[in-house]
Amino acid sequence: MEKIIDELQEAKVGKILENELLANHTTMKIGGPADLLIIPNDIEGLINAIKIISHYKLPWRAIGRGSNLLVSDEGIEGVVIKLANGLDHIDIDGTTVTVGGGYPIVKLAMVISKEGLDGFAFASGIPGSVGGAVYMNAGAHGSDISKILKKAFILFEDGSTEWLTNEELEFSYRTSVLQTKRPGIVLEAVFELKEGKKEEIVAIMQKNKDYRKDTQPWNFPCAGSIFRNPLPNYAGQLIEQAGLKGYSIGGAQISEMHGNFIVNAGGATAKNVLDLIQYIKDTIYQKYGVEMETEVEIIGRK
């Protein structure tokens, strides 16, 4: 590993940390160490890092701001690449917004609203980064990324880059081709919005923000929604109907505010969360015959 670290440093890829606890980089505050954590300075640094990692055939994965992730207590083998301040550039040209994969979604929604651009207000309370939002087709309040994304600049495992159009990203509910057929990192995203009235957009954003504040437990470490909605049912409603709100295993607890959130109530481990997820799955299937599928991404050593 020392040789690899030396090459990464020579290439000036960015910040490099060995055996860094991912609990420090996830919104749930859970996760064991990554063999190597890289926080790239910029797109060039990220591309150089991928080329070196690929040369040594090291396993790797990218994360954004750590939402929608549950990292195992044993951590992650290989390299974790964190998209953060080095990939947070933004350019607004009329109704077209080009933004780096590390840009925070909440901040982007605010910037866009101040420009009087309509179409992004649904995302005002979504945690995480642009890259993660494109990767999983994040959505809320009846809309999602697929409705506004024009194209995305993707870095693939072999170090090659390519612009993929909305159609080529093959969006579906909380899914894109980046999760299935073509694993890659979102370096940039281009959104096409519409001109709107600033006051109306800000009002909608505030309404969405208030709704999340009143119904979701963001005062506790959590990853966001744990389960996909098994339409026409809603995950949170099923869990609440089953009387599971407040149920806990170790430090992991089903939120008292929203059934589809598991919070770290103090000292929770990934095993606590996984055991609680399984308990929910078993209970909902026994009561309603509905199979629950996780939305949160579960990664790391087993």
Per residue in 21-58, is it b (16+ CB within 10 Å) or e — as a string?
bbbebbbbbbbbbbbbbbbbbbbebbbbbbebbeeeee
Per residue in 34-43, pLDDT tens?
A: 999 999 999 9
Question: Which CATH class, in words, describes the domain spanning 217-299?
Answer: alpha beta
- Whether the CB-CB separation of 238 and 284 falls below 8 Å is answered with yes
pLDDT at residue 108, as a whole number? 93
Give span(s): CATH 3.30.43.10, the chain.
Answer: 2-85
> What Cα–Cα distance (Å) separates residue 267 from each residue in 23, 69, 273?
11, 17, 11
CATH tag, 2-85: 3.30.43.10
Give span(s): CATH 3.90.78.10, the chain.
Answer: 217-299
Instruction: Give helix 43-55 / helix 2-10 axis angle, nearest 10°.
Output: 150
Q: Three-state SS string across 261-289, please?
A: CEEECCCCCHHHHHHHHHHHHHHHHHHHC
pLDDT at residue 146, as a whole number? 95
pLDDT at residue 45, as a whole number? 92
Name the pTM for this structure: 0.85
Taking phi over 0 as left and psi of -120 to 50 as alpha, with beta for the rest, 292 belongs to beta
Question: What is the strand order of the sheet 248-249 is part of?
Answer: 248-249, 252-254, 262-264
pLDDT at residue 16, as a whole number? 96
Residue 174 is among the residues annotated as catalytic for this protein: yes
pLDDT at residue 170, as a whole number? 95
Residues of the chain with pLDDT below 50 are none
Taking phi over 0 as left and psi of -120 to 50 as alpha, with beta for the rest, 31 belongs to left
| Architecture field, domain 88-214 | 2-Layer Sandwich (3.30)
Altogether, the residues listed in the chain come to a count of 302
pLDDT at residue 206, as a whole number? 82
Residue 295 is among the residues annotated as catalytic for this protein: yes
The Cα 77–Cα 301 span in angstroms is: 7
pLDDT at residue 217, as a whole number? 86
Q: Of the listed 174, 176, 188, 255, which one is catalytic?
A: 174
Strand partners, 118: 194
pLDDT at residue 219, as a whole number? 85
Residue 225 is among the residues annotated as catalytic for this protein: yes
Q: Of the listed 67, 146, 176, 225, which one is catalytic?
A: 225
CA 220 from centre of chain? 17
Is 160 strand, coil or helix? coil
Give span(s): CATH 3.30.465.10, the chain.
Answer: 88-214
Identity at 204, one-letter amino acid code: I
> What Cα–Cα distance (Å) separates residue 249 from each residue in 29, 114, 160, 181?
16, 43, 44, 35
